[in-house]
Structure 1
């Protein structure tokens, strides 16, 4: 397989070009090319990338999603009652998370590129883990709002940052399964959330803390500890990796440029680049599609424990009954991603699934 070196680009294969046309004009030069290193194959190299990239991103986002939605599990154990929440105060505490989350996603990715992923993402992960611990000791509605706000601020880097990293490692024909596996970590978080809450809730009264406080404290502590570990092992971009040889780095960069054209990683991102995104009708349409998906998804994540409890289950049984839907969603998402990559089609699967 021939690709480019730093001076030359190469067009992808005919089948790849038809299904995934490159974003820019690529020049071909028979005399200057990069080949897959002789000591490995492309499949083995991609498998090694999988082991060094995807597990870390999935664990990171699983913990981020768990920390943002475990308030629903905590509420079943009496959060609203003990903090004397009335009217729509619980709903306000849910919504305030998204204000900084939305505003700081784009600035966060700019900082990610400047500071490198292992620094920026692990730092934010530690901070939202610490914020979660603080949420476990709040004494009032105001304290709950403050911790939810900072939780949204520090988690703003997770979703766009992890997607950006995946895009810097994989060709488009390879990325869908990885995106789906990564995003499906949210469904695993929902399943684990119910199981963990069922176990942690039994600590009610330990050290004078209610069970719902221990949910926040222990899950936040785990997040903070994992963040400190990830500072040393979270993957950066291919050209900065220590576990690839120089030949492998050149090959990874070449195959990506042949597939995608010149990467934003290779140049400074300007305000014009950011503004250009909003002029692309495909982005706007996809945004509305995602809005239609994420509203009911978060509605389920935040309110399913309360709905299940209304059927007369006890607190522990409520947490356990919340697990199966998340587990089924995880398996179905991975199956859909595999079929999408196999057929090299996206829209039938995107349109055909209103909600997974």
Structure 2
């Protein structure tokens, strides 16, 4: 016998009609919302859809972010090879080449946020990645300080559109309750790129002198080629918006669109991009986050000098490259657990505050 659905009962035990039963079930679903209005998934179709989104969106975005940081941090590892000797760089010139990337990054940051909403995100992000792959590979042909400086500057310009584009895609397909964990998983691409960059460089530096090419040049060539392959794949895999996603069925497209529309915070009228920028500029909370991010990036600047700092402790090149891995590997696991907790309990303030408080001890300990 097939199972039957028992009709719902009211508080006094009276049997409700099918219509009333449906309303009761709907109200129960509506009640599964937190203080911000974000709701918990209960529909098996929605759970299956989110799982499918994870399998299609997260791997390609993660790979793109992983390569984003692998390419920009390659200069720190190239310094352990013969980069400075081959290009006759002084210490201050090397530091300028490291820093100039962020000049290009800042110039393009806000415009990139505006462009991604006007053209197809898949085309925009994959195109930018293709160009940064080529520039990364061309770093190998730099012959002096000027050549390295220019490639780093343009690398910053072409890498800048990636992160706002990735967040835009995630916000288009995921609800507020789902975003924290996904953003954290994405961010591990940054952390694990730094963790494994040394091990990758260790293998590539074994090619030093092959075909008359230095190890640091092979590093830029191989990583640039890998980035180009992923960029070409991104043209076909990255989605634009739920209703046009090719790898979703018509029913899944409709569900993906409806659930994000339902989760969207109500907007008080239509606003232009510029009015949105002005509103953000007048919000004190935005500037608080700017200050926090400024301190965060400043503290993370040591990434570009971390391998060199380890080498000054007396280790050879092989041990130095291996020792760059463990700190970031541990950080990757903690990052996922921390953001899962934030998403699970839909709490942000204390997760940010405690995390930043712990992070303060590192620089203080080093400076003491």
**Interval containing the TM-score (normalised by the shorter chain):** 0.7 to 0.9
TM-score norm. by structure 1 comes to: 0.87
Aligned counterpart for 1:315 among listed residues 314, 317, 321: 317
Q: By how many angstroms is 1:228 displaced?
A: 1.3
3-state SS of paired residue (1:242): coil
For the structure 1 residues 263 and 156, does the alpha-carbon distance in structure 2 shift closer, same or farther, using more than 3 Å as the test? farther
For residues 97-112 of structure 1, what are the structure 2 equivalents within 5 Å? 97-112=101-116
3-state SS of paired residue (2:246): coil
Q: Distance in 2 between matches of 1:240 and 1:143?
A: 42
Give the corresponding residue for 1:195: 199
Give the corresponding residue for 2:229: 225
Q: Distance in 2 between matches of 1:177 and 1:353?
A: 15
Give the corresponding residue for 1:31: none
Residue 140 (str. 1) matches residue 144 (str. 2) = yes
Q: Distance in 1 between matches of 2:281 and 2:221?
A: 39
Aligned counterpart for 2:329 among listed residues 300, 319, 327: 327
Q: How many residues align?
A: 329
For residues 16-95 of structure 1, what are the structure 2 equivalents within 5 Å? 16-20=33-37, 41-95=45-99
List per-residue Cα deviations over 1:285-336 (Å, max 9, x = no partner). 112112221211232x201100111111111211111001110000000010
Do 1:110 and 1:269's aligned partners in 2 also have CA atoms closer than 8 Å? no
Give the corresponding residue for 2:177: 173
Q: By how many angstroms is 1:260 displaced?
A: 1.9
For the structure 1 residues 121 and 143, does the alpha-carbon distance in structure 2 shift closer, same or farther, using more than 3 Å as the test? same
List per-residue Cα deviations over 1:54-79 (Å, max 9, x = no partner). 11111001101110011101111121
Give the corresponding residue for 1:295: 298
Give the corresponding residue for 1:13: 30
Do 1:171 and 1:256's aligned partners in 2 also have CA atoms closer than 8 Å? yes
Q: Distance in 2 between matches of 1:73 and 1:237?
A: 38
Q: By how many angstroms is 1:209 displaced?
A: 1.2
> 5+ residue gaps in structure 2?
1-26, 363-368
List per-residue Cα deviations over 1:198-243 (Å, max 9, x = no partner). 1001111011111111111110111112211221122222122012
Do 1:166 and 1:175's aligned partners in 2 also have CA atoms closer than 8 Å? yes
Q: By how many angstroms is 1:86 displaced?
A: 1.4
Aligned counterpart for 1:284 among listed residues 273, 284, 287: 287
For the structure 1 residues 20 and 136, does the alpha-carbon distance in structure 2 shift closer, same or farther, using more than 3 Å as the test? farther
Give the corresponding residue for 1:274: 277
Q: Distance in 1 between matches of 2:237 and 2:344?
A: 32
Q: Distance in 1 between matches of 2:329 and 2:38?
A: 35
Q: By how many angstroms is 1:148 displaced?
A: 0.3
3-state SS of paired residue (2:262): helix
For residues 107-118 of structure 1, what are the structure 2 equivalents within 5 Å? 107-118=111-122
Give the corresponding residue for 1:131: 135
Indicate the structure whose relative CO is greater, using CA pairs within 8 Å and at least 6 residues apart. Answer: 1
Do 2:46 and 2:255's aligned partners in 1 also have CA atoms closer than 8 Å? no
RMSD: 2.3
3-state SS of paired residue (1:232): helix
Q: Distance in 1 between matches of 2:338 and 2:329?
A: 15
